[in-house]
Amino acid sequence: MKCDICRERNAIIFVQQVSRNSSVELHLCETCALERGYPVNENRIDISLGGLFSGILKNQEGAPRQPACPACGNTLENLRKSRRAGCADCYRLFSAEIRSVLRSEGIQGVFTGSLPERLEAFTPRTPDPENLKKELDRAIEHEDYELAAYYRDRLRALGGSTT
């Protein structure tokens, strides 16, 4: 199993965070575990129960709780220190903070620079609902119901009607 953070090395540490509403599992390689404060020595992990409980007690004493990404467990504090998001969900969760950091560095708005040569021919386009309806009708005529279901689902995702 690969590391959830770098997706390059094999995971050797499995961390599970359980809360009232959900459970999040995180699979870490040795390098990523060390970066996140899980020191590894040969065949054992050095995490003191006192350290774990002190974090819980601090949160119970009314200290402001750091928001954490539900997918990778990355916190706002870690994002500020490392200046890296752990996953795509981090960008959604911490978008305001990321934007403020970019603004403080003079980076604003949408990227308007040139594309790399390999992407120059790429033209992003949203499927036209009318074309999808035609393809849906054609698939039904040919009794290709799998393809028809595909076009029906694409139309629904775009908010178009299938009739």
φ, ψ of residue 68 to 5 degrees: the values are -125, 145
How far is residue 13 from each of residues 10, 37, 52, 58, 71, measured CA to CA in Å?
A: 9, 12, 16, 25, 16
pLDDT score, position 144: 93
pLDDT score, position 137: 94
Which domain range does residue 154 map to?
129-158
Q: Is residue 154 part of a domain?
A: yes
How confident is the prediction for the chain on average, in pLDDT?
75
Q: Is residue 100 part of a domain?
A: no
Helices (H), the chain: 30-35, 49-60, 76-82, 88-93, 95-104, 129-141, 145-158
φ, ψ of residue 133 to 5 degrees: the values are -65, -40
Residue type present at position 33: A
CA Rg value for the chain: 23
Q: Is the entire prediction scored with pTM above 0.85?
A: no
pLDDT tens digits, residue range 7-43? 888 888 777 777 667 777 777 787 877 777 666 665 5
Q: Is residue 39 part of a domain?
A: no
Mean pLDDT of 38-55: 52
pLDDT score, position 44: 57
pLDDT tens digits, residue range 83-110? 888 888 888 888 888 888 787 777 777 7
Q: Is residue 103 part of a domain?
A: no
pLDDT score, position 98: 83
pLDDT score, position 28: 77
Give the total number of structural domains in the chain.
Answer: 1
Per the structure block, which two tokens stand in for 22? 């959900």
User: 134 versus 3: which is more confidently predicted?
Assistant: 134
CA distance 31 to 33: 5
